[in-house]
Amino acid sequence: MSVGIDEISFYTSNYYLDLKTLAEVQGTDPEKYYTGIGQEKMGMAAPDEDIVTMASSAALPLIERVGPEAVSTLLFATETGIDQSKAAGIYVHRLLGLSSNCRVVELKQACYSATAALQMACALVARKPDCKVLVIASDIARYDLDTPGEATQGCGAVAMLIASNPRLVSIDPEVGNHTEDVMDFWRPNYRSTALVDGKYSTKIYLKALKKAWDNFRDVSDLAFGDFSRFCYHLPFSRMAQKAHQQLVRHNKVGLSADEQEAQISDTLLYNRIIGNSYTASMYIGLTSLLENTEEDLSGKRIGFFSYGSGCVGEFFSGTVVAGYREALHTEYHQALLAARREIEHDEYLQLYRNQVPADGGEHRFAEGTTGRFRLAGIAHHKREYVIC
């Protein structure tokens, strides 16, 4: 019996800022963003959108297919937590009408926690092969204005159904990890934007990749040449290119630049126009790979490197299942991305400056999202969600 990803779907906001607009306002060469960091557009959450509404929208197509009673556990990964106590997934549980017998928990370790959720879900399914576990990763990436991180914002959520004999990707049990207490990127409880030591964070990412890979090689029989494609955590597309170049060098593999690029390029297409979605980004990258690669990937091995600042890195592997294309939501995702509206810089600033009111009063939020779920308001410190 194999265990892994049976179905995958993502959601992002209907607003985006083109990074050439940001570059123009900043007096920066747009090529710094388009080529230098490999990003074109960044998603901006609507005023009535948060990690719960995005997560619910991401999971809806999956739940519509299997039915709400089918899910035994919901694991919700995020680093944009909305409550120190209550798991954001509880709201999603209600909005999707999941069974009261379905357990829900939230996981945190920066951008890595969706991978912890995936591995835990696989373990639950291995123990009880009839069950289906819903893993959702949902985040809004925010940095201070006029900082190097500003161009790497974004927002998105991904939902994955983990099951036995999956239709998309079977996940191998062997993993390589690297954990180290470092301050490369963090967000103290009293801040709404992340603090980051940008250049240092990229160095730590690369170090964690090398260490996690070495640990993976200790526990797995697989070598670099067994992999057809690689999915990396995607804070920005260039990071994956740098990571892959390093992995190729580390393994002393003789691949041309074009051959290296071909192993990752299809994973970058969606993130390049969505921006960083933290926990969701690598799995949106996987969706991009499966939905955009012309070659039939059936039976091909994929290497995954998941990274969460602070830091935890994990390298693991999976194999694409024959017939996977039948289980994809390609048209739905491409229509979602095509229907987004470009915003100008002043509208971007308005959306950016939307703060969650903390005074306990009654607040209604302007309608902005075109998704199926809205954060209609907050009253007496309670979030009020509606289904549109």
Choose among 283, 235, 242: nearest CA to 261: 242
Q: Identify residues 260-279 at the interface with ligand CAA (CB under 6 A).
A: 276, 278
| Extended beta strands in 64-184, E state | 71-77, 103-107, 132-141, 154-164, 169-179
* Member of 87, 133, 209, 239 binding ligand CAA (CB under 6 A): 239
* Member of 86, 128, 191, 199 binding ligand CAA (CB under 6 A): 199
By CB under 6 A, residue 180 contacts ligand CAA: no
Neighbours of 200 (CB within 10 A): 14
Residue closer to ligand CAA (CB basis): 55 or 196: 196
Q: Are 118 and 240 in contact (CB under 8 A)?
A: no
Active site residues: 79, 111, 233
Residue 242 labeled ligand binder: yes
Q: Identify residues 341-370 at the interface with ligand CAA (CB under 6 A).
A: none
By CB under 6 A, residue 78 contacts ligand CAA: no
By CB under 6 A, residue 10 contacts ligand CAA: no
By CB under 6 A, residue 35 contacts ligand CAA: yes
Residues sharing a CB contact under 8 Å with residue 259, sequence separation 6 or more, in sequence order = none
Q: What residue number has its CB nearest to ligand CAA? A: 36
| Extended beta strands in the chain, E state | 3-11, 15-18, 41-44, 71-77, 103-107, 132-141, 154-164, 169-179, 185-186, 195-196, 229-232, 301-308, 312-320, 341-342, 362-364, 373-379, 382-387
Residue closer to ligand CAA (CB basis): 223 or 257: 257
In angstroms and rounded to an integer, the radius of gyration of the C-alpha atoms of the chain is 20
Residue closer to ligand CAA (CB basis): 279 or 369: 279
# chain residues binding ligand CAA, by CB under 6 A: 26
Binding mask 92-131 for ligand CAA (x = CB under 6 A): -------------------x--------------------
Residue closer to ligand CAA (CB basis): 277 or 317: 277
CA dist list (Å): 257 to 247, 266, 376:
13, 15, 49
Neighbours of 31 (CB within 10 A): 10
| Cα 57 to the center of its chain, rounded Å | 14
* Member of 2, 20, 26, 32 binding ligand CAA (CB under 6 A): 32
* Member of 10, 11, 205, 230 binding ligand CAA (CB under 6 A): 205
By CB under 6 A, residue 24 contacts ligand CAA: no
Least distance to ligand CAA from the beta carbon of 89, Å? 21
Least distance to ligand CAA from the beta carbon of 148, Å? 3
* Member of 78, 260, 309, 317 binding ligand CAA (CB under 6 A): 309
Q: Identify residues 322-341 at the interface with ligand CAA (CB under 6 A).
A: none
Choices 199-207, 209-217, 294-302, 377-385; region in contact with ligand CAA by CB under 6 A: 199-207
By CB under 6 A, residue 318 contacts ligand CAA: no
Q: Identify residues 131-160 at the interface with ligand CAA (CB under 6 A).
A: 148-149, 152
Least distance to ligand CAA from the beta carbon of 144, Å? 10
**What distance in Å separates the CA atoms of residue 381 and residue 250, rounded to the nearest whole number?**
51
Number of alpha carbons in the 13 Å side-chain half-sphere of residue 296: 7
- Angle 263-19-12 from CA coordinates, rounded to 5°: 70
Report which secondary-structure segment, H or E, holds 149: none
Least distance to ligand CAA from the beta carbon of 202, Å? 5
Report which secondary-structure segment, H or E, holds 388: none
CA dist list (Å): 4 to 115, 145, 171, 267, 352:
12, 39, 5, 19, 37
Tokens standing for 58? Answer: 């991401």
Tokens standing for 53? Answer: 């509404």
Binding site, annotated residues for (3S)-3-hydroxy-3-methylglutaryl-CoA: 29, 143, 242, 276
What residues make contact with ligand CAA under the rule CB under 6 A?
A: 29, 31-32, 35-37, 111, 148-149, 152, 184-185, 196, 198-199, 201-202, 205, 233, 235-236, 239, 276, 278, 307, 309
